[in-house]
Amino acid sequence: MKFLIALLVLFHIRHSYGVNVVYSNNRPNKDLSSNIESSEHLYSNTWAVHLEGGERKAREIAEKNGFNFVRIFSSFEDHYLFEHKDVENRRNRRSIEHHSRLEREPTVRWAEQQKILKRTKRGFQDFTDPLFAEQWYLKNRGITSCKETKGINVVPVWEKGITGKGVVVTILDDGLEHSHADLVGNYEPGASYDFNGGDPDPFPTYTSDNINKHGTRCAGEVAGAINNGLCGVGVAYNSRVGGVRMLDGDVTDAVEGASLSLNPQKIDIYSSSWGPDDDGKTVDGPGHLAYEAFTKGTTKGRDGKGSIFVWATGNGGKNHDYCSCDGYINSIYTVSIGAVDDCGKSPWYAEPCPGTMAVTYSSGVSGINKEIVTTDLHNKCTMKHTGTSAAAPLAAGIFALVLEANPELTWRDLQHLVVKTSKKISENDNMWQKNDAGLSVNPKFGFGVLDTAAMVEAAKSSDWKTADEQHICKSKVKKETKDIPAMGSVTSEIFTSGCFGQPSSVNQLEHVHAYITLKHPSRGGLSISLKSPSGITSPLLEKRILDTASVGFTDWPFLTVFNWGENPTGTWELTVKDSSGRGGVLVEWRLDVYGTFNSSLVKHVDENKMCIDECVKGCPHPFSEKCIGCKKYCDCEKGVCVSQCDSNLSADHERRHCRRALNTEIERNSDASARNGRATTSSATVKVRHSLLSISMPAKFAVIALSAAVLLALAGAIGYFLMGLPNTRNSGRAVDYQMVGAPGKYVVDLNISHEDPTHDVQ
């Protein structure tokens, strides 16, 4: 009886629902899609067939029954795909007739006409938010003032289901309207605080002019909700967003430090669209506590992986400001983000500098270029968010997606991803340079515009590995006291081996700091550039016509990222130029280079051969620049290599030179001048002194005798002069004579002293 009921059920299924299945002893698992009525499906003209006898038998059965043999399913043994050319593709009902022919074949164990299944990508769809269509910068397309806008390339990431889940971004600003319908679902109280009011609630103060709208606008760019019928969408619309109210009151170093160090194990990304005045005359940066927040955040935040600090480069373009005068941009711990308009051009308000890492999209000329869509105060929306203030939160949202894709990224890993994946923009701009590592750099755009999909792909790649330990190699301070000529320039050079052979050795650069001290009566009339051994020039400072301060710079840390990936070994040239007509003085400078040591990049050299080829008497160039990694020194007096310098010589460990200590610095200046082909007064002086040192012994005696005669004559004249003085109490005082000036032009400097009864002649 049970067998009869089973047959009746089988007959009903086959003829009422058209489930064309051929059963065998190896019946396939239940087809879950058969629970859906067949009228809801479209059917293709292909059949999946499982049969015995191999490919030859499959081809025979296909031809016999009017099918074309399409292919073998390599992953499934004895499974094949057939196609029937007489069956219309995408039809509403199954083809029972053709299916019946297959089921009558004794070797066919299972066959099924293929349904066209409805499948939807999880993640991005065209959202229903009313202003989503206006968010041109999100979709790689859209109506803009240009024919083509590439956008930040975020849609492919959304399509993979990466939307910012599990990542916390905090907006450091003037408050956050966390009750806003587009933000309330993503608001994170644990990542929020009011340092102006001293309580946990960062809600902004409402005023008639809505001046405290900034933080709420920035937050909507990051975490605006989807499909809620309000505004647009955030870049990381499933991330959590917090707010810190710290700009609506007195801002102190304590306020900044507390804001930047708030809950670093909870907050992943701190987004700051603020800084010193963009007035074209301010030079300012983080104080002690803010700096401590950066260092502790990057070493201890995110369970030791490091907090991410995103910083807007500034809107002082109309005031000819330059972001190298902003100490937050000059920090190695921040990811500095500039802006481009919807045409990919640098907008009028932008501040360039070689510390800029990348750009994202924002506004341009009002009424011509598009602007940014986001949330606004009083549960409203705006299409008028502008400036680098709007660019930085977009970057923060992008980084939230990247951290979701790979939560193990360190703060330096993220910077490496920015460098590696950013796309060149405005390619015809004449300020692009390609460095020795093959990276294109520009003070307006950094490494280019952020590409979300490229960053995520690189972060998820099996080739990804965390950055090697950061090393810092510090040069000695180059004390100069060189005049900066009015309407002219002065140069200075520092050689570095990248601290080769030391624990702090760097042969693959990341950041470079040039700490500069100079005096000038009108600071804004200066421009400063730094040229690396590879020839890449970083414009550390350009003229700021509104800056008339007479204080110059004191140990100011100018930053460049232009040499990322290069080897620092060699001579770095600093040039300071005056365009004010007033001149100044370069006092001193030094280099700090940051990066890693990659042993695979070390060139193994034949030290003995290098000693023969490169160790030359007088040392016209640094021996370590040619003999990389060599343990011997070049004796510059003899022109031969030695394992250690003689006791009467000074060892220069950076250059691997042995020189006379008295002449070391003079000869370094001579080397630098010779390498650059410059004929300066100082180099001429050195050459004369060097030639005097190298003349024959009889000539040296003649020179000494002549010098003695001159000195005796001078001593007699001075004694005669002193004897004629009315005050005889001067007798017994020592007189020091110093010969100073260029060769051939000597001046006598009298230094009368009570303490020292001796005299020296130099």
State the helix-helix crossing angle for 411-421 and 452-460, rounded to 10 degrees. Answer: 120
Contact 255, 179 (CB under 8 A): no
Q: What residues pair up with 541 in beta bridges, in sequence order? A: 528
Residue whose token pair is 């610095």: 665
Structure tokens at 627: 């003999």
* Strand-pair partners of 559: 513
For 223-283, the DSSP string reads H--SSSSSS---TTTTSEEEEEE-SSS---HHHHHHHHTS-TTT-SEEEE---S--SSS--
DSSP secondary structure letter of residue 662: G
Find tokens 């603020």 and name the residue. 274
Taking the CB of residue 424, how many other CB atoms lie within 10 A of it? 17
Q: Is 579 a catalytic residue?
A: no
Q: How far apart are CA 688 and CA 666, in angstroms?
A: 12
Q: Is 389 annotated as catalytic?
A: yes
How far is Cα of residue 586 from the mean position of the Cα atoms in its chain? 29
Residue with tokens 């010193």: 276
- In 619-696, which ranges are continuous DSSP H helix? 623-626, 664-676, 681-693
| CA 567/CA 569 separation, integer angstroms | 6
For 135, 154, 185, 395, the CA distances from 131, given in Å and listed in that order, are 7, 17, 19, 20
Q: Which two tokens stand for residue 575?
A: 């040039």
* Catalytic-role residue among 272, 336, 363, 389: 389
Q: What is the dihedral of CA 534, 536, 537, 540, to 10 degrees?
A: -100
End-to-end CA distance of the chain: 126
CA angle 663–669–673, rounded 5-degree value: 140
Q: What are phi and psi of 711, to 5 degrees?
A: -65, -40
Q: Which two tokens stand for residue 333?
A: 């711990």
Residues 576 and 493: beta-carbon distance below 8 Å: no
Give the separation between CA 111 and CA 88, rounded to whole angstroms: 18
Nearest Cα neighbor of 257 from 283, 277, 284, 286 is 286
3-state secondary structure of 43: strand
Catalytic residue among 41, 99, 214, 385: 214
Backbone φ, ψ for residue 99 (5° rounding) = -65, -40
Give the contacts of 42 (CB within 8 A, at least 6 positions apart).
90, 91, 92, 115, 116
Task: Note whether 373 and 382 are within 8 A (CB).
Answer: yes
Residue 695 exposed, middle or buried by CB count within 10 Å (0-12, 13-18, 19+)? exposed
The overall longest dimension of the chain from CA atoms, in Å, is 149
The CA dihedral of 604, 610, 613, 616, to the nearest 10 degrees, is 140
SS3 (DSSP) at 111: strand
User: Residue 166 and residue 172: Cα distance in Å, rounded?
Assistant: 20
Return d(Cα 87, Cα 104) in angstroms, integer: 19
333/310 Cα distance (integer angstroms)? 9
Q: 214 catalytic, yes or no?
A: yes
C-alpha 257/C-alpha 172 separation (Å) is 11
Active site residues: 173, 214, 389
